Structures are given as structure tokens and as C-alpha cells.
């Protein structure tokens, strides 16, 4: 009988308990991936879970739980844990505490022996009793090492356990006890680094409100967020976090959107404005119609990206993983060679104890996770360590124009008055005539009149003329606003403005030309400073790619000192990206995340700007900038450069430290007791160095 299997995978999110280091995630990933029916698996240390794609006809959650348990970890049940599980956890904690106490006592004994104070005290403790105490204290660690050995795996405690056994064999039970002490010290350091990695996700998750004030049947009801549905309306007041994405249908408020867009100043929102989950109302009141909530909200997608970023490892991280897997057999070989050449069992034990493979595994992921979390807090979403690594060495930056380098909407730049009219009169009459026009240039004219606080009258009649402009009666006079064909004139005064790539509007009153208005899509004010920062960060070539004409591109790029290519179609932009890649250059493309999606995908790193609330932009780019601020572009490069400096320093110092420790131990210059203490120092160094990275990024 032929059994058919489901072709559509089911995605499971499985919580994993007991993972303390990057090596643990690799063990769990291998255990789950070995099951028939598992199509893909990613294990996340930061959020303590695995995301597994399975064929439900071949594998079940219970089978995954069994595989994780066989690997030495656990999958908590949705029900209350059985008493046996609680007892086992309590036993492990008691044994760990006992091991710590015994180790401290033994450490004092050894130091006292060096000073000649505790010689008689040490002699009073029989060897069998001392050895039994050491083995009891080390029982939790030895059990994990044995389980790994049965699965033909080596973990970070394997070598130290062998070293401890070697010390016991030569009668040095006190030294073996100190080795146990520092195994627990090392485990505590690994747990600390894992907690630091998880903190970024925890800090983000804590910002999401769990309750909402629902507006239903003309009354307010405070309900759990799980009861809110799309289309409902929620009330948010001063000092409260907005629980969902939505559109304001009543009220006005100042909203702190720094968590989403990175914008440091509150944004004034009113009816019709979009708002985002986890943003905070600093002043005012809003009634919001829900458009997305939970995992589908902008904040939920940010959380998902931060979690999943851990799965995208760069070349440096994969190199560190491979190095750690080969490191332990090499150390075991050095220990065997030491014993064969010197016959010194203590030196052999010291070689096994001093080797620190876990620090190699920690060197890259801790720094990457720190950077991804810190970047997310500033509105820079990085989809994985491999994009940090590529961005750090990028030397070509290609930029889209409209909506990226510029504000994306025209703004009135010039008002030229002719005949007997003043600039204010020209703008006031033009704004009145354009009141009902939907053209983008009309919006720019109206906005300029508001900025100048002009009193704009209502038109008595209005007519839109396709391809020409508008005609209206204002204060009893006929006003025409449009191109030269509408007013029947074209003046040389406009030539200089047209040469700058600006759009022109001619204004006529009773068929007499009274003025010219010029509008342009203006440069973002922070761009010049940001481009200078990028040059200082080592970006060698910056170039504009635009579909606009040559004049508009030249007018924009000349003050910035950057080259441009104009009149480009989307496929032309892809061709330019490939052209640089063919020369061996590493290309970053910055665009709006939708229109430039093909070029963003082709680039080594695609960076979408101003993607808050846009699912397409968030999914399309490798790095998403939630705010429309060019300082975030420079910030992304700065994060990448600093992160890779920290990673290289972590790996280099760890390699040098292990080389020195192995050499001293092999020649008998480093006793096993000091070797055990020295083994934990690289982990502390990595934590401190990565913490320095966090502080640098947050400045």
C-alpha cells in the first residue's frame, strides 16, 4: 500500500529549554534535522526556540520533543510539567550548588597548601572521600558529556571532564575539584552571554501591550489583546502604548514612534493618520481602527525579523563553527603527544583543561546578536549576520532618487512676480485656483501658501483642463494656473529655473501673466552630512540611479559631488548593479523597497528606506530602515564596521590566548588548577568586548 504525504509543510515553533551557548543550538538543530519528515529547521538562542518546517504525515511534535530530549535539552509541555520534571530540575540545581560550594572549599585548600598552611588539613581528607565529593559535584556535567559521547558528539566540557578524570587518576583529587569549580564558572559565563543575546528580543517584546481598551457599542472595555480583531476600534490615551497597527478615526496626539521609525521627536497624528503597535502616546487621545495586530503588525514583523536574523550566518561565523568542531580533536592530540613525550600526567591534564573551544563558538554570534538588537532599537532592521559581514566590506553605494534621496513629493521653491503683482499675491491667487485640484504640484502650491500664512479665498468656480492646468474665478477675476500653452506665453525668466530641472507653473489674472511658480522634489536635508559620513566610513563610490531626465539629475547631484545615470528603467538599474559586481565590487543599493525591489534583490545588500508599515518593503530588502532619515543609512554602515572589528578582535584574541595556554600547559608551566581558571577568561573577554560594541552603537 502506497502512503501519500502532505506536500504542504507545516511550520511549528517549538520552545527549547536548556540552551546556554551557540554550541547548544547546533546540537539541537542536528537532532531535529535528523528526523524523517523535517524539511527545514532554525534554532534561535536569543528567543530559546526552534522554527521547524515538517511534513505532518511523517513527523509529529512529540517525536521532535523526544529528539530534543535525547540531545540533552527539553521541550516544555503546554500543560503543567510533571512532578518528575520539577524534581529533576531541582536535583540539578542542588548538585550544581553543592559542586560550587565544594569547589570553593577545595580552592581554599589548594591555596592554603601552596602557602603551607593547610598541609595537615589536606592530609586529613582521605582520597576516596575527596574523589567521591568531586564526582558528585560534577555529576550534572558528566551526565551531559556522557550523553554527547553516546551520540558521537563532543561538547565544550568534554576536554575538561577528561582533564578532571586525569587528575583523579594521578591522585590529585583537590585539583580535580578546582577543575569542577571552573567548569561551573564557565557554564555561568555562557549563560550570561546567552542572556545578553536574548535581552534585545526581550526588551523589544516587553514594549508590546498585552491589553487594549476596546470601543464597542459606545462604551469602553478593557480586554486582552487576543480578543481584539481587525476592524475593531481601540481607545489610547496619554502615556499609553498603542496596542495595534491602525488608522486614526478620532482625536489628535503626539506619538513617540522611535521604536518603529527611529525618529527621536514625537510625531503629531490626527484623523486619517497611520499609527503602529508599541508606539507611545506622549500627549493627547486617539481612537484607532485596527488594521493589523500581533504578528501581522509592523512591530510583530520587526520581532520576527530580529529573531530570524540569528539563522542567517555569515562566512566568518560559519568558519568559527567549523574551527570549533576541529579544535577539540586537535587539543586531544596535543595532550596525547605531551604525555608520550614527557610522561607528565599533570601537564597532560592541564592541556585538556586549558583549551577553550566555546569561546570560538561565542566570538561571532554574540557580537552579531548584539548588533542586530541594538540596530532594531534605532529603526535599522538587519536580517542576519551575513548581511552585517557583507555591508562591512561594501565599497559601492547606489542610490535611487525619488522618495529615497529626495522627499518624494514636489515642494514650491521659487515665486517670481511680474507686472504689478507681489509674490504673496501671485501665490495667494494660485493657491485659491488650485484649491480643488488633485495634481501634486497643486498640493505644493497650497502647502506653500499655508507656510506663509496667507489668507486664501474660496474660488467661485473651478475647471480642470487636462494637460494644461486649471482655470477658476477668484474674487471676481479669472485666474489661470498651468503650463505656457494655457496662458499663451513663455518667458526667458523661466529658462534658468527649467535648467535646474524644476517644474514650472505660469499664473495669469484676466489673461495677463502675473507670475511664475517653480517646484521641485527637494533633497532630504540630512543627505549631505550623511554622504560625508559614508565617505569617512570607507565607501569609495556613491552614484545616483534615476529614471528622471539629465537636467533634474544634474541639478540634484552637482551640489553633492556624486555622479549619476539618468533616464533609467528598472532593468537598467539591475544592469548597473551587475556591472559593478562583475568588477569584483561589493554593492549596496538604497531604494524605497517597492519600485526598486529588483535592484535591491540583485545588490549584495539591498537597503529599503522608510519602510514602516510596508510589509512588501520589510520582506524585500536585506536591511530595512524604518524611518525616512538618511542618518540611518550611515548608522547601518557604522554598525556593520564596528561589529566586524569586534568579531575579528574576538577571534584573534581567543586564538592567541589558546595558543599561549596550550604551550604553557604542554611544557608543564601551567598547573591544572591555573589552567582551569584560565579556561574561563576568554568567555569573559568576549562578553566585555561585545558589551563595548553595544555601548558604541547606542551612542
- In 3D space, the residue among 207, 198, 407 whose CA is nearest the CA of residue 297 turns out to be 207
DSSP for 554-594, please give it: HHHHTTTT--EE-S--HHHHHHHHHHHHHTT--EEEEE-SS
How many CB atoms sit inside 10 A of residue 488's CB? 11
- In 3D space, the residue among 564, 568, 573 whose CA is nearest the CA of residue 602 turns out to be 573
How many CB atoms sit inside 10 A of residue 270's CB? 12
295 close to 272: Cβ distance less than 8 angstroms: no
Any catalytic annotation for residue 245? no
Residue 158 grid coordinates: 568534554
Burial of 648 (C-beta count, 10 Å sphere; 0-12/13-18/19+): middle
CA distance 59 to 55: 6
601 close to 620: Cβ distance less than 8 angstroms: yes
Which residues make Cβ contacts (< 8 Å) with residue 43, sequence separation at least 6? Answer: 16, 19, 25, 26, 28, 29, 32, 49, 50, 311
CA distance 134 to 125: 13
- In 3D space, the residue among 323, 347, 317 whose CA is nearest the CA of residue 335 turns out to be 347
Residue listed under C-alpha cell 496596542: 243
Q: Which is catalytic among the residues 232, 400, 548, 604? A: 400
Which residues make Cβ contacts (< 8 Å) with residue 457, sequence separation at least 6? Answer: 428, 432, 474, 475
Instruction: Find the distance separating the first CA and the last CA of the chain, reported in whole Å.
Output: 66
CA distance 216 to 210: 18
Catalytic residues: 400
Amino acid at each position: 500500500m502506497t502512503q501519500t504525504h502532505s506536500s504542504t509543510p507545516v511550520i511549528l515553533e517549538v520552545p527549547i529549554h536548556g540552551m546556554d551557548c551557540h554550541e547548544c543550538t547546533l546540537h539541537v538543530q542536528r537532532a531535529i534535522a535528523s528526523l524523517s519528515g523535517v524539511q527545514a529547521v532554525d534554532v534561535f538562542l536569543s528567543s530559546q526556540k526552534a522554527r521547524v518546517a515538517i511534513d505532518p504525515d511523517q513527523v509529529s511534535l512529540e517525536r521532535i520533543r523526544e529528539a530534543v530530549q535525547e540531545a540533552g535539552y527539553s521541550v516544555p509541555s503546554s500543560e503543567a510539567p510533571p512532578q518528575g520534571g520539577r524534581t529533576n530540575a531541582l536535583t540539578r540545581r542542588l548538585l550544581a550548588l553543592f559542586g560550587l560550594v565544594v569547589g570553593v572549599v577545595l580552592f581554599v585548600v589548594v591555596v592554603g597548601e601552596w602557602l603551607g598552611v593547610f598541609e595537615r588539613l589536606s592530609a586529613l581528607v582521605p582520597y576516596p572521600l575527596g574523589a567521591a565529593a568531586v564526582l558528585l559535584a560534577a555529576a550534572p556535567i558528566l551526565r551531559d558529556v556522557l550523553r554527547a559521547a553516546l551520540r558521537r558528539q563532543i561538547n565544550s566540557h568534554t576536554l575538561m571532564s577528561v582533564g578532571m578524570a586525569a587528575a583523579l587518576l594521578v591522585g590529585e583529587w583537590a585539583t580535580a575539584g578546582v577543575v569542577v569549580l571552573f567548569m561551573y564558572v564557565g557554564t555561568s559565563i555562557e549563560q550570561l552571554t546567552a542572556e545578553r543575546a536574548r535581552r534585545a528580543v526581550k526588551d523589544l517584546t516587553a514594549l508590546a501591550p498585552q491589553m487594549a481598551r476596546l470601543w464597542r457599542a459606545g462604551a469602553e472595555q478593557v480586554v486582552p489583546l487576543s480578543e481584539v480583531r481587525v476592524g475593531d476600534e481601540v481607545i489610547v490615551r496619554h502615556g499609553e502604548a498603542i496596542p495595534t497597527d491602525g488608522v486614526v478615526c478620532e482625536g489628535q496626539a503626539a506619538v513617540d514612534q522611535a521604536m518603529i521609525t527611529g525618529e527621536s521627536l514625537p510625531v503629531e497624528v490626527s484623523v486619517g493618520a497611520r499609527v503602529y503597535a508599541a508606539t507611545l502616546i506622549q500627549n493627547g487621545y486617539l481612537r484607532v481602527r485596527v488594521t493589523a495586530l500581533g504578528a501581522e503588525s509592523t512591530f510583530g514583523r520587526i520581532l520576527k525579523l530580529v529573531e530570524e536574523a540569528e539563522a542567517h550566518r555569515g562566512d566568518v561565523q560559519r568558519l568559527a563553527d567549523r574551527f570549533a568542531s576541529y579544535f577539540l580533536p586537535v587539543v586531544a592530540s596535543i595532550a596525547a603527544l605531551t604525555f608520550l613525550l614527557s610522561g607528565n600526567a599533570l601537564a597532560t591534564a592541564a592541556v585538556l583543561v586549558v583549551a577553550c573551544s566555546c569561546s570560538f563558538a561565542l566570538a561571532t554570534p554574540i557580537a552579531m546578536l548584539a548588533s542586530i538588537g541594538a540596530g532594531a532599537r534605532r529603526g535599522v532592521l538587519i536580517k542576519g549576520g551575513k548581511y552585517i559581514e557583507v555591508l562591512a566590506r561594501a565599497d559601492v553605494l547606489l542610490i535611487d532618487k525619488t522618495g529615497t534621496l529626495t522627499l518624494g513629493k514636489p515642494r514650491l521653491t521659487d515665486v517670481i512676480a511680474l507686472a504689478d503683482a507681489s509674490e504673496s499675491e501671485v501665490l495667494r491667487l494660485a493657491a485659491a485656483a488650485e484649491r480643488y485640484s488633485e495634481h501634486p504640484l497643486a498640493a505644493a502650491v497650497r502647502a506653500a501658501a499655508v507656510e506663509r500664512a496667507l489668507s486664501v479665498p474660496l474660488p467661485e468656480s473651478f475647471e480642470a483642463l487636462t494637460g494644461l492646468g486649471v482655470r477658476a474665478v477668484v474674487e471676481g477675476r479669472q485666474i489661470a494656473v498651468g503650463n505656457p500653452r494655457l496662458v499663451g506665453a513663455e518667458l526667458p525668466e523661466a529658462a534658468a529655473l527649467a535648467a535646474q530641472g524644476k517644474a514650472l507653473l505660469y499664473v495669469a489674472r484676466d489673461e495677463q501673466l502675473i507670475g511664475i511658480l517653480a517646484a521641485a522634489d527637494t533633497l532630504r536635508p540630512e543627505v549631505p552630512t550623511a554622504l560625508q559620513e559614508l565617505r569617512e566610513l570607507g565607501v569609495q563610490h556613491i552614484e545616483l540611479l534615476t529614471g528622471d531626465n539629465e537636467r533634474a539629475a544634474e541639478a540634484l547631484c552637482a551640489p553633492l559631488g556624486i555622479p549619476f545615470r539618468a533616464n533609467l528603467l528598472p532593468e537598467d538599474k539591475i544592469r548597473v548593479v551587475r556591472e559593478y559586481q562583475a568588477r569584483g565590487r561589493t554593492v549596496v543599493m538604497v531604494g524605497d523597497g517597492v519600485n526598486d525591489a529588483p535592484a535591491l534583490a540583485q545588490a549584495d545588500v539591498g537597503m529599503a528606506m522608510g519602510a514602516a508599515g510596508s510589509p512588501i518593503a520589510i520582506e524585500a530588502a536585506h536591511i530595512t530602515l524604518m524611518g525616512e532619515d538618511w542618518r540611518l543609512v550611515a548608522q547601518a554602515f557604522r554598525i556593520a564596521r564596528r561589529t566586524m572589528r569586534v568579531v575579528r578582535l574576538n577571534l584573534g584574541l581567543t586564538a592567541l590566548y589558546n595558543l599561549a595556554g596550550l604551550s604553557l600547559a604542554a611544557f608543564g608551566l601551567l598547573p591544572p588548577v591555573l589552567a582551569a581558571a584560565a579556561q574561563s577568561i576568554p568567555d569573559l573577554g568576549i562578553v566585555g568586548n561585545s558589551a563595548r560594541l553595544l555601548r558604541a552603537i547606542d551612542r
